[in-house]
Amino acid sequence: MEHNEISFENLPSAVAHLNNQVEELKELILRKESVSIPQKKTPIDIEKACEIIGKAKPTVYTLVRTRQIPCYKSGKKLYFFEDELLEWIRNGRRKTMVEIEAEAAKNFRRNRG
């Protein structure tokens, strides 16, 4: 429908045109990927960090002192970020025997030639 005048005679085609436009909009909305809004990184204190990683305060202080856990220090206060703590936990994952055997077989085949 190129013109904006709607008369009684062209009402069915105008409704059909609007119906097509609504269907196209529905398809666009359904296809649109959800926009990921970056979450604001809010620092957490040591108590919350202890809850997240499941360790006692003295253990966390030891991990900080030996630089084994990601943290930030402002004055005498320690700060952590939840996503960094979760990544730290993920990086400490131990391989299963099946994974170790598969890796060994892969390295063996690669070294044999």
State pLDDT tens for residues 68-98: 999 999 999 999 999 999 999 998 888 899 9
Give the integer Cα–Cα distance in Å for 21 and 13: 12
What mean pLDDT, rounded, does the chain reach? 86
The answer, as to whether pTM is greater than 0.85, is: no
Q: Which domains does the chain possess?
A: 41-93 (1.10.1660)
Could you tell me what percent of the chain has a pLDDT over 70?
Answer: 89
Q: What is the pLDDT of residue 58?
A: 97
Q: Which residue has the tokens 């013109």?
A: 3
pLDDT of residue 110: 84
CB of 60 closer than 8 Å to CB of 69: yes
Q: Of residues 112 and 17, which shows the higher confidence score? A: 17
SS percent in the chain: helix, strand, coil, step 5: 55, 5, 35
